[in-house]
Structure 1
Amino acid sequence: MTHSLAFSTQWKPLRGSGTSLVDQLADHLGSRIRNHGLRVGMRLPSVRTMAAETGLSRFTVVQAYDRLVAQGIIQSRRGAGFYVSPPAALAPPPPVPATQLAPDAAFDTAFLLRSMFREEARSDMPGSAGLLPPSWLDHEMVSAAVRTVGRSMGRSLVSYGVPKGLKALRQQIASALQAQDVPAHPDHHLMTVAGVTHGLDLISRTFIRPGDTVLVEDPGWFLIFGRLTALGAKVIGVPRLADGPDTEALAQLAEAHRPKLFITNTAVHNPSGHTLSAGVAYEILRIAERFDFLLAEDDTYADFHPSSPVRLAALDRLNRVLLVGGYSKTLAASLRVGYVAAAPALIDKLVDAKLLGALTTPELGEQVLHRILAEGQYRRHVERLRARVDGARDQCIKMLQQAGCSIPQEPHAGMFVWADCGMDTEALARKAAAMGLLFAPGVLFSPAQAPSSRFRLAVSMIDDPQGWQALATLLAQARHGTRHA
């Protein structure tokens, strides 16, 4: 038989203390349960009794009890009241830190992503392999938009979104694209997605079948390689030059393999920071038309370009080009809102795939982005962010050169430096990871997983003097070991 937990009437809430009455009661009860080792199954006072003893309202007591239930400290038994829960099971041994590799493990895409997104990496982390620190972004602007949307959305806050995405947002995106000569109509050429990764995944799953050939850039965005391979596609790299893909190689590969799709990052290329030239853009379109394949244009980093870049989507008039863009790099990594602009027939197929895969995209994020764009703050924010990134990139280049690295072709823009250290960077990255320093070795950016002396470094590394010192020491030790090998 369980016994009711007696409650000391000496405890009283502190009104006007700045801590809510619900929090005060929940904290006090939780402390008593944890610190006094009360037996499992003991019954708490009823809501009415607790309210009478503490001078609180029944509503406040119910909220406090509900909070303790959510924390697993007490249990609710329908019709019988609230009881002390069993203590939590012993915690498992701490996992191996994400930046430690087993001796025989590869420094692969999965390891890099786990390290980038590990729980302790959610704070400001200069030198992270692919993210700008939160302090570089305008969290107040995003927070204000979230609060405004929360007050104004009403019932739509708990509803599904629209299959193509929030119309007001599509109108804003269409207007921005039209200003850059991309003929996107909000109703016919646009749909929202949960970020660029989602958009490219939808394109791949919709238009690629097992055995199809997909061309990608080499170097290129490593995440897409594994995704395409998982779909059963044959993934072939096209060499990426400073002015865009090597069009001679592209034509030869297209003729030999008859691809269904070519995925290219035209503006502010990841990892090199280079941007497509007009001449190469026209040649890509000519080759795509000749061999009849689609073009997925990854526009992730275009806002870091100082002016309107050359886009395949503008030259092609959204005929065979699918333009994929987003806002997570410049606004907030957690604000997973992007778009696909394409021909109406292609958009219809992608919307069907979107509904089959995950229903509609969440309207809450779309409303927040719509609010930010509507208030006119985004343009000024991007200008400030771009200036900071450009300055940091210049500093990174100088410091890398001082550390003995070369940058054969300096980036035009963007948040990365693609450097050459003259040695196998996978081995270097493994040693750096053991020291808690994360960067992406060149092998990841090759669809053939070819060894490379290149590596990608985030420009936010300038905020980490200790990281720089560790990297410089690591490079010096590696060169010394190479000379004496």
Structure 2
Amino acid sequence: MTNTTLQDAPVRAKPVPLLALLSRESGESLIDQIVRSVAARIDDKLLRSGARMPSIRQFATAHGVSPFTVVAGYDKLVARGYLESRRGAGFYVRERSPMNAGERSSPAGAALSTLSSPADGDASQLDVVWLVRNMFRQVPHQQMPGAGVLPSEWLDGASIANALRAISRQNPAQLVNYGVPQGFLPLRQQLQHKLGELEIAAAPAQIVTTAGVTQALDLVAREFTLPGDTIFVDDPAWFLMFGSFAALGAKVVGIPRLADGPDLAQLAQLAALHKPRLYVINSVLHNPSSTSLSAAKAFQVLRLAEEHGFTVVEDDIYCDLHPGSAVQPATRLAALDQLNRVIYLGGFSKTMAANLRVGFIATKPEWAQRLADRKMLSTLTTGEIGERVVYKILSEGLYRKHVDRIRARLDALRGRTYRQMERVGLKVDVAAPAGMFVWADAGRDTNVLTAHAMAENLLLAPGSLFSPSQLPSTRMRLNLAAMQDPAVWRFLERELKG
């Protein structure tokens, strides 16, 4: 979408659309799409109080809808307190009181409220819960090109089984008691070495183990924000945290993500406006695009964090899928900042085993203690058996060769899969040289495409779910490792080129 400043201006021959895609195939009416989209932009302050809306004719021409549809949408927005009508002058964004501004629940929170599955291709019922629930269906991975994990046969189940057998032969008393809130000490010592290889200095006292990055994000948000605070996320980004943050009462604001990192102009503007407490970012192998942060932008992100007083939360869950700086540039904010204003998150669910649920937080010592206390109050400790398994695999040197094999398999698929995507009508703007995801443009509403795929027992991940605004999108996330079933390609070719 293109954001433009609204002002009194002559009518252009081809007006620039104000909104993202409006879909005639979605189960949601065009009027309701306009209302929801404009309201979201006003709530996120992308449209400022007092700004003049495009005329009815301009809006209708730019978006390919009838003037009647625009009038009905504007009227609804007036009734809900978003716009005001000035006789003879048009429609303007209304100054909203804090009470009115809080009436609309966050789109991320709303996304978690719909628990029904789409029926008969109803794309209007797709939401985050729907996608996550369907990712846990017991179906072949080849039928889930939108999944966020690698196929189980790509992972090293044998090493995990061997580690479990070795642990079972240890003193039984070590396996039946609670661990410690900060996490299994030998694992934290091993993580110190792992982080050192990334040029991040973190003593074991600065590391807290978690039940995956999901819990890590939740602990950080609970500890460092209050209801009403703003949390910045990339847009697009990993969808699950939107609803989690909104449930805590936080306002979730998306920062447009470009091929080399965030849109710095938008980050600076929105930081001055919203005064965020946290900014959650994938610096390396961003989900869903597999792009990485440039060194120049990394320095600017840290400069803006210092200027506006927010903490950067660096989610590096895909760390081990990157070949390393010797092969490709990889700049980590925590390495530049040395955990002063950056909280670093990592884990092993993507490359070792999701079922182990082992992640970690690295931060300054006083924050690590606060987070360990927060973890203790919510879950006491994390499962030490899983932490012992991860420690054994890391300490015996098995893991490095395993991730080398995963990267080699992805590399073997990448070029061929990109070419096949283009052949069936998918556009790939940035052909990332590493990672497991592709952020592809289908040229049509991917909510509708996802509903059609579900009717054929195929799971896609539509782009609307990767934005806090949840607006219709032509984009979707595809998993390179799950794109090898001919049925997937036949479906895409029929839908996109038929």
Q: Deviations over 1:68-117 (max 9, x none)?
A: xxxxxxxxxxxxxxxxxxxxxxxxxxxx9978567375211110001001
Kindly report the root-mean-square deviation, in angstroms, between the aligned alpha carbons of the 2 structures: 1.8
Of 174, 179, 190, the match for 1:156 = 174
Superposed, 1:137-176 pairs within 5 Å as 137-176=155-194
Q: Deviations over 1:138-174 (max 9, x none)?
A: 1111111111111124211001011111110001111
Inter-partner Cα distance in structure 2 for 1:418 and 1:128: 11
TM-superposed CA distance for 1:422, in Å, is 1.0
Superposed, 1:54-133 pairs within 5 Å as 103=122, 105-118=124-137, 120-121=138-139, 127-133=145-151
- Asked whether the 8 Å contact 2:235–2:257 carries over to 1, the reply is yes
- Asked whether the 8 Å contact 2:123–2:448 carries over to 1, the reply is no
Q: Secondary structure at the match of 2:356?
A: coil
* Structure 2 match to 1:338: 359
Q: Partner letter of residue 110 of structure 1?
A: V
* Structure 2 match to 1:401: 422
Q: TM-score of the superposition, structure 2-length normalised?
A: 0.74
* Structure 2 match to 1:264: 281
Of 196, 211, 214, the match for 1:197 = 214
* Structure 2 match to 1:177: 195
Q: Which structure ranks higher in relative contact order (CA pairs < 8 Å, sequence separation ≥ 6)?
A: 2
Q: Secondary structure at the match of 1:162?
A: coil
Q: Deviations over 1:391-419 (max 9, x none)?
A: 22322211110101111111232111110
C-alpha change, 1:125 and 1:425, in structure 2 (3 Å) is closer
Inter-partner Cα distance in structure 1 for 2:158 and 2:366: 39
- Asked whether the 8 Å contact 2:118–2:125 carries over to 1, the reply is no
Worse-superposed segment, 99-108 or 354-363 = 99-108
- Asked whether the 8 Å contact 2:121–2:452 carries over to 1, the reply is no
The structure whose Rg is larger is 1
Q: Partner letter of residue 473 of structure 1?
A: R
* Structure 1 match to 2:320: 303
C-alpha change, 1:372 and 1:438, in structure 2 (3 Å) is same
Superposed, 1:41-56 pairs within 5 Å as none
- Asked whether the 8 Å contact 1:215–1:261 carries over to 2, the reply is yes
Residue 248 (structure 2) pairs with residue 231 (structure 1): yes
Q: Deviations over 1:284-316 (max 9, x none)?
A: 000000111111100011111111421100101
Q: Partner letter of residue 136 of structure 2?
A: F
C-alpha change, 1:286 and 1:353, in structure 2 (3 Å) is same
Q: Partner letter of residue 282 of structure 2?
A: N
Count of matched residue pairs? 380
Identity of counterpart residues, as a percentage?
47
C-alpha change, 1:239 and 1:97, in structure 2 (3 Å) is closer
Inter-partner Cα distance in structure 2 for 1:421 and 1:303: 29
TM-superposed CA distance for 1:461, in Å, is 2.5
Inter-partner Cα distance in structure 2 for 1:172 and 1:443: 39
- Asked whether the 8 Å contact 2:445–2:473 carries over to 1, the reply is yes
Of 304, 311, 316, the match for 2:337 = 316
Inter-partner Cα distance in structure 2 for 1:405 and 1:474: 11
* Structure 1 match to 2:346: 325
Q: Secondary structure at the match of 2:382?
A: coil
Residue 271 (structure 2) pairs with residue 250 (structure 1): no
* Structure 1 match to 2:480: 459
Inter-partner Cα distance in structure 2 for 1:97 and 1:383: 40
Q: Which runs of 4+ in 1 moved over 3 A?
A: 96-105, 121-126
Q: Deviations over 1:12-66 (max 9, x none)?
A: xxxxxxxxxxxxxxxxxxxxxxxxxxxxxxxxxxxxxxxxxxxxxxxxxxxxxxx
Structure 2: 5+ residue runs without aligned partners? 1-114
Residue 385 (structure 2) pairs with residue 367 (structure 1): no
- Asked whether the 8 Å contact 1:216–1:237 carries over to 2, the reply is yes
Q: Partner letter of residue 184 of structure 1?
A: A
TM-superposed CA distance for 1:123, in Å, is 6.9
- Asked whether the 8 Å contact 1:328–1:336 carries over to 2, the reply is yes
Inter-partner Cα distance in structure 2 for 1:191 and 1:389: 31
Inter-partner Cα distance in structure 2 for 1:423 and 1:126: 20
Inter-partner Cα distance in structure 2 for 1:167 and 1:403: 51
- Asked whether the 8 Å contact 1:432–1:474 carries over to 2, the reply is no
Q: TM-score of the superposition, structure 1-length normalised?
A: 0.76
Q: Deviations over 1:212-253 (max 9, x none)?
A: 011110011111111111111111110101111111111111
